[in-house]
Structure 1
Amino acid sequence: MQTRIPEHIRETVAGAEAEGILRNCVHCGFCNATCPTYQLLGDELDGPRGRIYQIKDLLEGGEVTRRTQQHLDRCLTCRNCETTCPSGVEYGRLVDIGRELVEARVARPWRERAARRALRVVIPEPRRFRALLGLGRLARPVLPAGLRRRIPARQAAGTWPAPRHARHMLCLTGCAQPALAPRTDAAAARVLDAVGVSLVAAPAGCCGAVDQHLAAPEAARARMRANIDAWWPALEAGAEGILVTASGCGAQVRDYGHLLADDPDYAERAARVSEAVRDPVEVLTAEQLATLRPDPAPRVAVQEPCTLQHGQKLGGRLTALLQGAGLETVPVAEGHLCCGSAGTYSLLQPGLAGQLRQRKLGHLTAGEPEVIATANIGCQHHLEAASPVPVRHWLELFDPEEIA
C-alpha cells in the first residue's frame, strides 16, 4: 500500500512503525472473511481493511471524526486478521496506534470518558477491583438479572504448594483474575508441583493491557517498567520463566520487548522478559498429564482464546494437549472466531459482545460437552455469565486437589 504520510509524522516512532505496517498491506481483503465484527455488521469500515484505510487517511492528514472513532472502538483487537493475512500485516499494533491518535483529536462524550477512566482506575488495581467485586457480591441478590450474572460466586483457591523443586518459575497473577477466579493460579501451582516444577507468585499487578488497548500507552509502559523491575531479580537468580495462566496477559507481556524497544533503560530487559514468558500449554505439553486426568474424564468443548491463537500463535496446542492426555474433546465450529470478551470490550460494546457470545456458545454446546475449557480469565468470565455448561480454566481439569 502506497502512503503519503507527512515527514513530521514519519519521523516519530509510532509514525514510522505505522507506515511500515501499512506498506505491507496489499488490499486483498482476506482479513474481512475472518473478522468477527465484519461478520456481524457487514460494513467495510467495521472490518480490518476498512479500518486500515481509515488509519492511513488519519496519518496522511485526512479528516478524523466521531464516526472514525466508533469504527476503531468496535474492533475487538482479536488479531484473527493477522493469522489470516498472507502479507504479515501487524494489524493489532496498527489499530493501537490509530486509536491513540484519534483519542488525541476527537473528544468523547463525558459518559464514555468517565466509563473508560473508571475501567483504567479499577480493573488494573487488584485491591480496588477486589473491593468493588466484594460490594457487588453483597448486592447480588437485589441486582437485575443481567448484572447479577456478571458477578461470580466467591471461589476458594485451595493450597499453594511451598517451593521444593530445583526447577522453578514465576507466576504472573495479574489484576482481575485473583479476585474473579483465584483457583486458576493455585491449580497451576499444584499441577506444576506434581510434574516437578515449583511456581512462585510474582510480585506485580496488571500487565498493562487495559491501558494499552484503551489508548493510554504511557500508562501501559509505566506498568510494564514496574513489572520488569519486580521480576528481574528472580530471573537473574535462575527462574526458568514467567508462567502466565491468562492468555490475554501472556500476549501482552510477550510484546514488552517490542513496546519498550525505544526505551534505552528498559529495552534489553524487556526483550528478555518477553522471551521468558510461557503459557501453561507450552510448559505442560511435554509432561505426562494423563496421570492427573480425572476418572471419569468429562467431555470437553475447547474454547481457544484469540490471545492464545492469534496473539501468542499457539493455535491448536490446547486441544492437542487435552487429547494427548486422554480427554474427549467435542468438535467446535468457528473455533477461530472471538467470543466477544476481548478485555474491556464486553463492557464497552455489550451489544456486539453479546451477539458474539451467543454465537460462540451455540458452537461450544452443540456437541453436548460436560464442561467448556478455556485459557483466559476474560473469556471464562464472559462465557460463564450466559453458559448452560460450566466454564473452567483447562488447568482445573488436572488439579490434583480436585481429583483427590
Structure 2
Amino acid sequence: MQTHLADFIKDSPEGQEAEAILRNCVHCGFCLATCPTYQLLGDELDSPRGRIYLIKQVLEGAPVTQKTQLHLDRCLTCRACETVCPSGVQYGRLVDIGRGIVEKKVGRSFAAATVRYALRQTLPNPGVFASLLKLGRSARPLLPGVLRDSIPHTKNSQLAGSQFSQPPVQHQRKMLVLEGCVQPTLAPNINAAAARILDKLGISLIKAPNAGCCGAVSYHLNAQQEGLDYMRRNVDAWWPYVGMQDDGGGERVVGVEAIVMTASGCGVTVKEYGHLLRHDPAYAEKAARISELTKDISEILEAETQALVSLLGRPLAHRGVAKKTRLAFHSPCTLQHGMQIRGVAEKILVAAGFELTYVPDAHLCCGSAGTYSILQPELSQQLLKNKIAALESGQPIRIATANIGCLMHVRSSGTSMAVDHWIEILDEKLQDNDIR
C-alpha cells in the first residue's frame, strides 16, 4: 500500500512504525471473515481493512471526525485478523497508534472521558477495585437491573479455592508470577492453583512486592504514557529477580527461570514490553529481557509435560472413559491471536484425562476484550450470546478459559455451567489424584 504521511507524524517513531505496517497491507480482505464486528455490523469500516484505511487517512493528514473515532473504538483488538493475514500485518500495533492520534485530535465528551478516567484509576489498583466491588455487592439489591447484573458474584468454587494458601518457597527452581489487577479479588485461587501445581513439579512461584498492573488498561484506553509508566514500574520490580543474585553468603545464584502469566491478557502485553519500551534508553534492554522471560502458564507446563504426566498417574490412554470430564475450552483472543499460543492448554487438559468438546467459531472473541464490555455493551453482549451458544453446543458440564476478563464475562452470561480457569481445573485433578 502506498503511503504519504503528513509532516506531523512521518519522522516520529510512531509514524515510521505505522508506515511500515501500512505498506505491508495488500487489502486482500482475508481479515473480513475473522473480524467479529464486521460479522455483526456488515460495515467495512468496522473491519480491519476498513480501519486500516481510516488510520492511513488520519496519518496522511485528512480531517479526523468522531465517526473515525467510533469505528476505531468498536474494534475489540482481538487480533484474529493477524492470525489469518498472509502479509503479516501487525494490526494491533497500528490500531493503538491510530487511536492515540485520533484521541488527541477529536477528544471525548466530558461523560465519556470521565468513564475512561474512572476505569484507568480503578481497574489497575487492586485496593481501590476490591473496596468498590465490596461496596457494589453490598448495595446490589438497591441498584437498577443493568448495573446490578454488571457486578460479579463470588462463586462458591472461588470461596472454597481461596481458602487454600500457596505453598512455601522451598525449591531451588523459582519463577515470578504477576498477581494482576482484578484477578486477586475476583479469582484469588488462580495463582494459588498455579503455585500448587508448580510446587509439585519442584518449582517455587514467587511474586515481587512492587509489581502491579501490566499497563494494558491505560495503554489501550489511549493513555499510552500512563501505560508505559506501569510497564517501567514492573521492569524495576522484577529486575532484581532476573539476573545473577547474591544468596547472602557471597555466592552468586541464577535468578528466576521465567515470569509466569496466568492471565493471557496480561501475558500478551508483558511479552511486548521490549517493543513498547524500545526507544527508552533507560529501559529498552531490561524490557527486552523481561519480555524474553515472560511465559504463559501453558508454556511452562508444556515444558514440564513428562513430570506433569507422572503426577497424573497413568497416561490418558490407560484411563477409563468414565473418569473423563467434558469441558468446553474457550481460548482467549490474547492467547490464540495475541501470543499465538494454540492447542497447548487443550493438550495438557486432554493428557490429564479431560474430554474437550468441539466449539464452533472458536477463533471469535467472547466480547470481553478488557474494558470493551463496559464501553461497547451492545456489541459485547451480542458476541457473548454467540460465544455461549458455541460453548454450550457440545453439551459440556463445565467451561474452562485462560484469562480473568473472559472468565468473568462468560460467567456474567447466566450460563448454568461452572466457568473456571483451566489451571484451577487441572489443580483439582491433581488434588484428586493425591487423595486417591
Please confirm whether the aligned pair reaches a TM-score higher than 0.5, indicating the same fold: yes
| Deviation (angstroms), 1:149 | 3.7
Residue in structure 2 matching 1:173, options 160, 173, 179: 179
Deviations 1:359-383 (A, max 9, x none): 0010000111111110000000000
Answer with 317-326 or 140-149: which moved more.
140-149
Greater mean alpha carbon deviation, residues 300-309 or residues 283-292: 283-292
Residue of structure 1 in register with 2:422 after alignment: 394
Shift of 1:148: 3.5
Distance in 2 (CA, whole Å) between partners of 1:143 and 1:372 is 29
Alignment equivalent of 1:331, drawn from 346, 358, 361: 358
Q: Which residue of 2 aligns with 1:346?
A: 373
Residues 111-148 of structure 1: per-residue CA shift (max 9 Å, x gap): 11110010001000111111111111212233344433
Query: 1:93 maps to what in 2?
Result: 93
1:205 match: secondary structure: coil
Which protein has the larger Cα radius of gyration, Structure 1 or Structure 2?
Answer: 2
Displacement of 1:153: 1.2
Whole-angstrom distance in 1 between the partners of 2:73 and 2:399: 29
The residue correspondences of 1:77-156 to structure 2 (distance < 5 A) are 77-150=77-150, 151-153=152-154, 155-156=158-159
What is the CA distance between 1:10 and its match in structure 2?
A: 1.4
**Structure 1 position 371 matched with structure 2 position 371:** no
The 3-state SS of whatever aligns with 1:169 is: strand
Query: CA offset at residue 322 of structure 1?
Result: 1.3
Task: Give the structure 2 partner of residue 58 of structure 1.
Answer: 58
Q: Which residue of 2 aligns with 1:264?
A: 281
Per-residue CA deviation, residues 192-247 of structure 1 (Å, 9 max, x unaligned), is 11111110123211000001110111001100100000000011231111001000
SS at match of 2:139: helix
Give the Å deviation of 1:165: 1.1
Confirm whether residue 321 of structure 1 aligns to residue 351 of structure 2. no
Task: Indicate which of 168, 185, 190 corresponds to 1:184.
Answer: 190
Instruction: Give me the whole-angstrom Cα distance separating, in 1, the residues matched to 2:142 and 2:287.
Output: 46
Structure 2 unaligned residues grouped into runs of 5+: 246-254, 314-318
Residue identity opposite 1:313 in structure 2: Q
**Counterparts of 1:402 and 1:81 in 2: how far apart (Å)?**
40
Whether the 8 Å contact between 2:116 and 2:221 is mirrored in structure 1 is: yes
Q: 1:163 matched to which residue of 2? A: 169
Conserved? CA contact 1:137–1:153, under 8 Å: no
How far apart are the structure 2 equivalents of 1:345 and 1:152? Answer: 20
Aligned-CA RMSD value: 1.6
In the other structure, the counterpart of 1:17 is: 17
Q: 2:323–2:353: 8 Å Cα contact kept in structure 1?
A: no
Counterpart pick for 1:252 among 230, 246, 269: 269
Partner residue in 2 for 1:215:
222
| CA distance, structure 2, for counterparts of residue 52 and residue 340 of structure 1 | 21
Superposition deviation, residue 289 in structure 1: 3.8
Question: Whole-Å Cα distance in 1 between the matches of residues 299 and 199 of structure 2?
Answer: 16
Whether contact under 8 Å (1:76, 1:345) holds in the other structure is yes
How many residue pairs get aligned? The number is 404
Query: Which residue identity does 1:140 align to in structure 2?
Result: R
- Point out where structure 1 has 5 or more consecutive residues left out of the alignment: none
The one-letter amino acid paired with 2:41 is L
Range with greater deviation from structure 2 (174-183 or 311-320): 311-320
1:230 matched to 2:262? The reply is no
Alignment correspondent of 2:316: none
Is the CA contact 1:169–1:197 (under 8 Å) kept in the aligned structure 2?
yes
C-alpha displacement of 1:171: 0.5
Superposed displacement of residue 8, structure 1: 4.2
